[in-house]
Amino acid sequence: MSENNTSLIRFDSIVKKFPDVLANDHVSFDIEEGTIHSLLGENGAGKTTLMNVLYGLYEQEEGTIYLRGQEKIIDSPTKAIELGIGMVHQHFKLVSSHTVIENIALGLKTASTMRPTKEIERKLVELAAQYGLDVDPRAKIWQLSAGEKQRVEILRALYRGAEILILDEPTSVLTPGETERLFQVLQDMASSGRTIIFISHKLDEVMAISKYITVLRDGRVVDTLKKESTNKRELSKKMVGREVLFDLERKPVDRGDKVLEVGNLSAFNDKGIKAINNLSFDLHEGEILGIAGVAGNGQRELAEVLSGLRKATSGKVFIDGKNLTNASPRSIIDSQVTFIPEDRINQGIVGNLTLNDNVILKSYRKPPFSKGIFINYRAVKEHAQKLIEQFDVKAPGPDTPANLLSGGNIQKLILAREVSLEPKLIIASHPTYGLDVGAAEQIRNLLLTQRENGVAVLLISENLTEITSLSDRIAVIYEGQLMGLVNREEATRSELGMMMAGTRIEQITHDQV
């Protein structure tokens, strides 16, 4: 190993496995002291996993972490904090009924016996002033905005003496103004010698504040680059990759009647912010329409509105000529629409019930599975057996609880169930997210088969390669708005990448070539 004096942290061949995924696959790179170093990658690329290893929340299976050239075993967050590492998680870890001071005090090993909060408050105000992280120390957490809570998290890390600060997708909860302010704080901290590790999948942000950028994809380091010597286009190419999809055979299919028509659709997210904004598109029989975009740009809300779980604030949804705007989930299911949900474990299956119970999740009220109020479990079992064989679901048998299956097999089970309902329209959200290559290919082939059978498929995915290789047309959304809709032949990767980063299709041809 080469000795590098400027390296503060060195990841050497870190491997972290989860039951179905290799989350970090021999990750090696260096982080220099006093810099802002970004980790860039799509969801599931392994960024957060790697940082959880550094922060002591996970233990790596292989590999070593060096801190200032010394090997360190970090087996708990306490150890990480002792070593001067602090982490601000994507979801805040604050006690909302307590004050800011009390949250800072939580877990502190030492505090003066007499009036400890005074001491904390004094130090807190000092730290806050130093970095412009102003927040009322006596306010209760629930009274604070997301941006203020984040400042409390950062202050807590600094209070505990963090020299290295990890921020996991810190801007996902912030308004543009708050984001700018955060960037100023981070830059001040870096210039005063602290090291910032910034996790993001947003190209603009990464280009705005980093000195170094490490791109991760499928758990592996693609490259570590200096900000000055790269650009957004190169980064997006590295981030999305050029993975070749084998065995995908797209037969020409004549597109048929219109199945889905979405007109000027808008809806709010859970926080009451507009998440989809005036979306319009249509989808025909025998066609796959890909919805591309970086996660969190309205994909989930779109799928929820189409499935009846979220109310649209304006606009319309027509399915097979019927107005199903804001219809109930059941009437949408009854119109032969099926879903492959984004969160397959929580929305797609009932984990502790058997495969028998899971295959009839949507058809349990229909013959042959039920007669009157009684379920005919013999017919159900036969059906489950048939689907298991036909869709090659690896399972000991139909009586197995669904949560004992691997992610890929759960997804095959869901797809088998949904396809067996003979749908006119399939809405597939991130259907191969987190699956290994083999399972992903099978799922993609199943979607193509459905297309050949004349089914309309709405494919929502962050995986650009998947979108471009499956779709007939591609719509790109950014902050809930349509950036452009192109035919598959006309789509170039870099154009799609630009649209995903928020450039409208009309603007691309002029200023970027």
Partner 1 sequence: MGKSLPIKITERPNPSGLVIIGVSFLALLSAFLVASFVFWAYGTNPIVAYRALFSGAFGGTYELSETIRRAIPLLLAGVGLAIAFKAQFWNIGAEGQLLLGTIAATWVALFSPVPKPLMIPAMFFFGFLAGAAWGLIPAILKSKLGINDVITTLMMNYIAINFVLFLVQGPWKGEHQWGFPYTDKFPQAARLSTIGTTHVHWLTLVIGVLAAILIYILINQTTPGYEIKVLGSNPSAGRFAGMSYVKTTILVMFFSGGLAGMAGVGEIAGIHHMLRNPSELSLGYGYTAIIVAWLARKNPLAVILTAFFFGAIFSGGDALKVSIGLPFQITDVFNGLILFFLIGSEILMNYKIEWRKA
Q: Which stretch binds partner 1 (CB under 8 A): 78-86, 223-231, 262-270, 423-431?
A: 78-86
Nearest 5°: CA angle at 244, between 239 and 248? 130
Burial of 292 per CB tally in 10 Å (0-12, 13-18, 19+): buried
Q: Which stretch binds partner 1 (CB under 8 A): 73-81, 168-176, 242-250, 473-481?
A: 73-81
Strand 337-340 versus strand 314-319 pairing type: unpaired
Q: For residue 238, which of 252, 218, 256 has the smallest C-alpha distance?
A: 218
Q: For residue 248, which of 497, 441, 41, 37 has the smallest C-alpha distance?
A: 441
Please state at what angle helix 232-240 crosses helix 493-500, rounded to 10 degrees. 100
| C-alpha dist (Å) from residue 474 to 282, 335, 436 | 11, 25, 24
- Report the residue number, 274 or 362, with the smaller CB distance to partner 1: 362
Burial of 110 per CB tally in 10 Å (0-12, 13-18, 19+): exposed
Distance (Å, rounded) from C-alpha 181 to C-alpha 99?
23
Out of 52, 266, 307, 411, point to the residue binding partner 1 (CB under 8 A).
307
Strand 22-32 versus strand 7-17 pairing type: antiparallel
**Does position 75 bind partner 1 by CB under 8 A?**
yes
**Does position 401 bind partner 1 by CB under 8 A?**
yes
**Does position 458 bind partner 1 by CB under 8 A?**
no
Q: Minimum distance from CB of 6 to partner 1 (Å)?
A: 28
What single-letter DSSP state applies at residue 354? B
Out of 4, 6, 78, 191, point to the residue binding partner 1 (CB under 8 A).
78
- Report the residue number, 79 or 211, with the smaller CB distance to partner 1: 79
Distance (Å, rounded) from C-alpha 342 to C-alpha 303?
9
**Does position 377 bind partner 1 by CB under 8 A?**
yes
Q: Minimum distance from CB of 230 to partner 1 (Å)?
A: 38
Q: Which stretch binds partner 1 (CB under 8 A): 223-231, 316-324, 397-405, 476-484?
A: 397-405
Out of 248, 253, 309, 505, point to the residue binding partner 1 (CB under 8 A).
309
> Which are the contacts of 92, defined by CB distance < 8 A and separation ≥ 6?
149, 150, 152, 153
Per-residue x/- track, 125-154, partner 1 (CB under 8 A): ------------------------------
- Report the residue number, 417 or 473, with the smaller CB distance to partner 1: 417
Q: Minimum distance from CB of 166 to partner 1 (Å)?
A: 18
Q: Name the strand (E) or helix (H) holding 128.
A: helix 116-131
**Does position 79 bind partner 1 by CB under 8 A?**
yes
Q: Where are the alpha helices (DSSP H) in 335-477?
A: 355-359, 377-390, 407-419, 437-452, 464-470
Provide the 3-class DSSP secondary structure of residue 342: coil
Q: Minimum distance from CB of 431 to partner 1 (Å)?
A: 15
Out of 114, 273, 373, 513, point to the residue binding partner 1 (CB under 8 A).
373
Q: How many residues bind partner 1 (CB under 8 A)?
A: 38
- Report the residue number, 372 or 438, with the smaller CB distance to partner 1: 372
- Report the residue number, 107 or 256, with the smaller CB distance to partner 1: 107
- Report the residue number, 107 or 132, with the smaller CB distance to partner 1: 107
Per-residue x/- track, 319-358, partner 1 (CB under 8 A): ---------xxx-xx-----x-x-x--xxxxxxxx---x-
Distance (Å, rounded) from C-alpha 276 to C-alpha 295?
13
Q: Which residues bind partner 1 (CB under 8 A)?
A: 75-76, 78-79, 82, 307-309, 328-330, 332-333, 339, 341, 343, 346-353, 357, 360-362, 364-365, 370, 373-375, 377, 401, 403-404
